[in-house]
Amino acid sequence: MACNLNPTQNAAVDTYSGPTDSTYNICYESIMDRDSVFFNALIYGDSIKGSLGYKLYEKDQNNGSVLGTIHGDTIRALYTFMSEGQESTREIIFLQEDKQLVEGYGTMEERNGRTMFKHNIAFRFDGIRLKEVNCK
């Protein structure tokens, strides 16, 4: 997967073609003080692909690609990103709730060079809240 080296903005990945189309874009952002997070993706059926960027004050900025699935109100995906000049992959999870995405956390482990959630764990959805925005 290719990673974006520039900050992610709310650029639509693709375009929605009609009310009967199961392919559409979602765009979310969180801007608080000096921190910002942008999530833009294309939904096709129960699959999702897009971009995610974190720009957190006094932390390394990372931008990358997201590839995963949607089950009900939950997005679970692999996030491949560049940080400190090194490519990394970690599993991410978000809960869709009232036109927001809430980042989830759980116990993680290293598997095959990726940071993944441990099997059979409970998630805490108390992370960064991103609000739905219009895709540009």
Query: Could you tell me if residue 64 is inside a domain?
Result: yes
User: What are 135's two structure tokens?
Assistant: 């895709």
Residue 103 predicted with pLDDT over 50 = yes
d(C-alpha 36, C-alpha 60), whole Å: 12
Domain hosting 110: range is 23-132
Picking from 1, 125, 98, the residue whose alpha carbon sits closest to that of residue 52 is 1
Total structural domains in the chain? 1
Residue 21 predicted with pLDDT over 70 = no
Q: Which residue has the higher pLDDT, 61 or 104?
A: 104
Query: Could you tell me if residue 87 is inside a domain?
Result: yes
Picking from 123, 112, 29, the residue whose alpha carbon sits closest to that of residue 78 is 112
Residue with tokens 């990726």: 114
Query: Could you tell me if residue 122 is inside a domain?
Result: yes
Average pLDDT of the chain to the nearest whole number: 86
Q: Is the dihedral of CA 48, 41, 1, 36 positive or negative?
A: negative
Query: Could you tell me if residue 18 is inside a domain?
Result: no
